[in-house]
Amino acid sequence: MSSVLTIRGGVPLTGRVTVRGAKNLVPKAMVAALLGNEPSVLRNVPEIKDVEVVTSLLQLHGVTVDKDPVTGDLTLDPTNAKTASHTAIDAHAGDSRIPILLCGPLIHAIGEAFIPDLGGCKIGDRPIDYHLNVLRQFGAVVEKRPGGIHISAPNGLKGAKIALPYPSVGATEQFLLSATRAEGITELSGAATEPEIVDLIAVLQKMGAIISVQTDPTIRIEGLQDLGGYNHRALSDRNESASWASAARMNGSITSHDRSISSARMNSDASPCRASNSSRSYDSGRTPNAPL
């Protein structure tokens, strides 16, 4: 995948594109496949760095990841999950922050996890203390080691009542991925409820997880010893959709219908931004070739 984008402007946007799966859901759904005892299928997968990193980490841990050359769908088979060498894992140090979410699933699958020093997008300091605190409340033992963090649970992960000081998306994901196979009942108050969290819950429920969400918002999970696989199409990326809408607002008109966006000309009396139940339409209210 190229790391350079070359953009040549000066013409109105035309044609048709597909909004791919949400960046903030797909890598987490891939991690969730580790919880199952049979293969999972994930559709609408974007070509992004986090997908590459998680694919490599899963493969290091014995998970078979097959990509359909035509559709890009991923089939993830965790039945031969194993411990990976720290040296191999270290190669991903600084690549992404997603590996911290492998902790719970790896503990359930092989009894331990080693997480390399984390990287990620440069949007400011985002400590992983909330993740580690959630894991400790499940009974995990967290040890700082050269190059990363070793996490184990000699007695297995146990259900707990957990309260977040603020609705952290990452900590909520950590809770979901750890609680589904933890022994007993687990409750999380102050949970995040972004669309990607809701879709991750849908993935876990397809695997057989027993999850309920209250309006507080509190998430309650009854842990199960075993989960199956899933077949899931990731929800579309709302940030990508917003980017196309913004582009249309500046220069042209775009109609988003089902999970695609195509150029469209709206009536002259249309409002600058219009939406309907069956499709989402964005129009700049100006002629595509008109100057800004």
Helix segments in the chain, DSSP class H = 26-32, 49-60, 86-90, 103-110, 129-137, 169-179, 195-206, 238-250
> Residue 291 has which token pair?
């100057």
Beta bridge partners of 112: 152
Catalytic residue among 121, 141, 163, 210: 121
Amino acid at position 9, single letter = G
Rounded to whole angstroms, the Cα distance separating 290 from 181 reads 58
Phi-psi group of 265: left, alpha or beta (phi > 0 → left; psi -120 to 50 → alpha; rest → beta) = beta
Secondary structure element (H or E) that encloses residue 16, with its range:
strand 16-18
- Annotated catalytic, 273? no
Distance between CA atoms of residues 35 and 31, nearest Å: 8
- The number of beta carbons lying within 10 Å of the beta carbon of residue 140 is 23
Catalytic residues: 121
